[in-house]
A = this chain, B = another copy of it.
């Protein structure tokens, strides 16, 4: 497994914000499943990823499938929130220094996108306080 991917799994398991920030490039770009416009920079990307971990990383959360290349990985996950099944992918790109430069999330089905949209809005307000 490429080492940025190992580091990412450590972050998901530990929810260690310092480890997350150490893994993100200063100019990392985050692409949300809901909004077209990319979010640019480490501060906002870290906030979104922390929010997503709070919202998605319930006891039902597990990875289903992992496909990796030299600088990219796609991690498929499954979780459940309020009885709604959430299926999604993390598309992660890292540079030759092993820092994540691009992080994209997609979700299905439509019901899951709408639910995560609502839950992420509430969570980001909490985290930004």
The contact sample of 5 A-B pairs, CB cut-off 8 A, is A33-B110, A34-B110, A67-B73, A74-B89, A74-B91
Verify if A106 is at the interface (C-beta below 8 Å from B). Answer: yes
Report the nearest B residue to A93, measured CB to CB: B65
In the complex, how many angstroms separate the beta carbon of A74 from the nearest chain B beta carbon?
A: 4
In the complex, how many angstroms separate the beta carbon of A66 from the nearest chain B beta carbon?
A: 8
- Determine how many copies of this chain the complex contains: 2
Verify if A26 is at the interface (C-beta below 8 Å from B). Answer: no
In the complex, how many angstroms separate the beta carbon of A60 from the nearest chain B beta carbon?
A: 15
Verify if A15 is at the interface (C-beta below 8 Å from B). Answer: no
- Chain B residues whose CB sits within 8 angstroms of the CB of A72 once the complex forms: 65, 67
In the complex, how many angstroms separate the beta carbon of A112 from the nearest chain B beta carbon?
A: 8
What is the bound-complex CA distance between A55 and B72, given in angstroms? 28
Contact of B69 with A111 in the complex, beta carbons under 8 Å:
no
Supply 11 further A-B pairs (C-beta < 8 A) apart from A36-B111, A74-B91.
A33-B109, A33-B110, A35-B109, A36-B85, A36-B109, A67-B68, A67-B74, A89-B89, A89-B106, A110-B113, A113-B113
